[in-house]
Amino acid sequence: MIVTRFAPSPNGMLHLGHAYSAIVAHDLAREGGGRFLLRIEDIDGPRSKPELAEAFRRDLQWLGLEWEEVPAQSTRLVRYEQAARDVLIGQHGVLYPCTCTRAEIAASATQSGPDGPIYPGTCKGRSIDPNRPDAAFRIDMAKAMEIAGPLTWRDALVGEQAGRPDLFGDVVLIRKDAPASYHLAVTLDDASDGITLVTRGADLFAATHIHRLLQELLGLPVPVWHHHDLLLDESGQKLAKRRDSASLQDRRLAGEDGLALAKALRSGNLPAGISLGR
């Protein structure tokens, strides 16, 4: 059975791009006679405002979607901690503490990856007290890839991909302010929730290389991915929570017809100035 999900982070209101993403995931599940899940990804440190989740639910309802909600990430912290401690550290020994600041990394990095500067490995091999409150944990990517061996994954739209987690270097898997980073939490949760088709925007395409690697290290099942096109503004930039003027909540409270909006997004009949692309 096909199981998809919409996994918004409550650090700002949802916008049209989120509506599109939720509709794509919802419709793929319905077409396959499967399940569509909602998971609130609320471990974004102080930027997470769990109270926004209620607005998200109203927005989805306004669009005419039906879903099953699974527990929010903030209720799953023990699971993240346990996987990191028992498997990534205990079994594989692939995490190391890092106390570098963003500015230090920006100043010392010589290469850039999909998410900005690639961490130059400064703390690898340093002996930092892992209990230091300002320590994050990074993955030793070279070691992890050697353990996992060559990997592939499949995107339903663009086909088989050769795994390239090396593009990112030693990414953070445990943030200093949370027991996981996005990459670790989302990988564990998609497995726990039985997701068979990870549906999300093409802006997260490259991140899948990391998730595929983590699945291998953690012994998790491997889903198929569906990275859909993004809604772009007049300048060809993806809509962002901060830039976009009208949130779904604004539109809803202004009395706009949510079902008509959902229909328009489904038919590709997009609002003025908005286009679909990658």
Q: Which of 9, 181, 187, 247 binds ligand GLU (CB under 6 A)?
A: 9
In the complex with Zn ion, the residue whose CB is nearer, 100 or 197, is: 100
Please choose which of ligand GLU, Zn ion, none residue 70 contacts, taking the beta carbon within 5 to 8 angstroms, the exact cut-off set by kind: none
The kind and range of the H/E element at 96 are: strand 95-98
Residue 98 binds Zn ion (CB under 5 A): yes
The answer to whether 52 contacts ligand GLU (rule: CB under 6 A) is no
Q: Which of 2, 3, 7, 136 binds ligand GLU (CB under 6 A)?
A: 7
The residue from 204, 206, 224, 246 that contacts ligand GLU (CB under 6 A) is 204
Q: Where are the beta strands (DSSP E) in 103-251?
A: 112-113, 116-117, 136-139, 152-155, 159-162, 172-174, 197-201, 224-228, 230-232
User: From CA 26, how far away is CA 237, in angstroms rounded?
Assistant: 25
Residue 43 Cα distances to 181, 228, 252, angstroms:
8, 24, 27
Query: What is the footprint of Zn ion within residues 107-166 (CB under 5 A)?
Result: 122-123
Contact between 189 and ligand GLU (CB under 6 A)?
Answer: no
CA 139 to each of CA 41, 89, 131, 271: distance values in angstroms, whole numbers, following the listed order: 22, 10, 17, 42
- The reply on whether position 270 binds ligand GLU by CB under 6 A is no
- Positions in 22-51 near ligand GLU (CB under 6 A): 41
Site of interaction with ligand GLU (CB under 6 A): 7-9, 41, 186, 200, 204
